[in-house]
């Protein structure tokens, strides 16, 4: 994710999470730490015409990783894009030497919970009233990266370059919605 993605990411954020959407300032702050040696890794998925249809972010400090956010445009849900974004975060957490990867998910978001369970995340607790202002509880889930399925942690096979994350140096279209990594942080 780069600075020029913030406006479309924010629009998608407001569409998907109207009650507890992040602000533009929060995304700017996160991207400020997405540099070589920084604690953040953000990725974006775009359509062939360059429209943002998904994004995800990771915080990695020491040996601890935390999924900061993950979102997929409703028109692209069920296509495997969420799994591709999560795979990118899991691989980046492993690359950075994280032992565990944590995340919070709304207790009423069973679709996302099923995705995380497929990756090996297990429930470890509840954060009461975490999502504000609605006061919705968050289910805290944990993935032991040493025990994670190899296909989620290992780098993508070189035989499928169209599906592999690519460097993105300027805002431009891409062949299909896919996970795009920015060179400075991944």
Enumerate the active-site residues: 104, 116
Answer for the pair 94, 145: CB distance below 8 angstroms, yes or no: yes
Answer for the pair 139, 104: CB distance below 8 angstroms, yes or no: yes
Helix axes 6-16, 24-32, angle to 10 degrees: 130
- The total number of residues written for the chain in this structure: 186
- Rounded to whole angstroms, the Cα distance separating 143 from 90 reads 9
The span from the first CA to the last CA of the chain, in angstroms, equals: 11
Long-range contacts for 167-172 (Cβ within 8 Å, ≥24 apart)? Answer: 168/2, 168/44, 171/2, 171/4, 171/5, 171/50, 172/50
CA angle 77, 105, 99 (to 5 degrees): 105
Answer for the pair 39, 66: CB distance below 8 angstroms, yes or no: no
């Amino acid at each position: 994710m780069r600075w020029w993605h913030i406006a479309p990411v924010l629009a998608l954020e407001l569409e998907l999470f109207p009650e507890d959407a992040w602000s533009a300032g929060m995304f700017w702050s996160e991207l400020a730490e997405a540099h070589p040696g920084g604690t953040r890794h953000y990725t974006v998925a775009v359509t062939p015409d360059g429209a943002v249809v998904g994004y995800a972010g990771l915080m990695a400090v020491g040996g601890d990783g935390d999924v900061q956010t993950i979102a997929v445009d409703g028109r692209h849900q069920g296509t495997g894009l969420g799994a591709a974004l999560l795979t990118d975060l899991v691989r980046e957490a492993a690359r950075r030497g994280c032992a565990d990867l944590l995340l919070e998910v709304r207790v009423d978001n069973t679709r996302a919970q099923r995705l995380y369970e497929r990756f090996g995340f297990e429930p470890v607790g509840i954060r009461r009233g975490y999502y504000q202002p609605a006061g919705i509880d968050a289910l805290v889930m944990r993935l032991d990266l040493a025990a994670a399925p190899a296909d989620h942690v290992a780098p993508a096979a070189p035989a499928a370059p169209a599906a592999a994350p690519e460097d993105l140096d300027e805002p431009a279209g891409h062949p299909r919605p896919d996970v795009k990594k920015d060179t400075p942080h991944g």
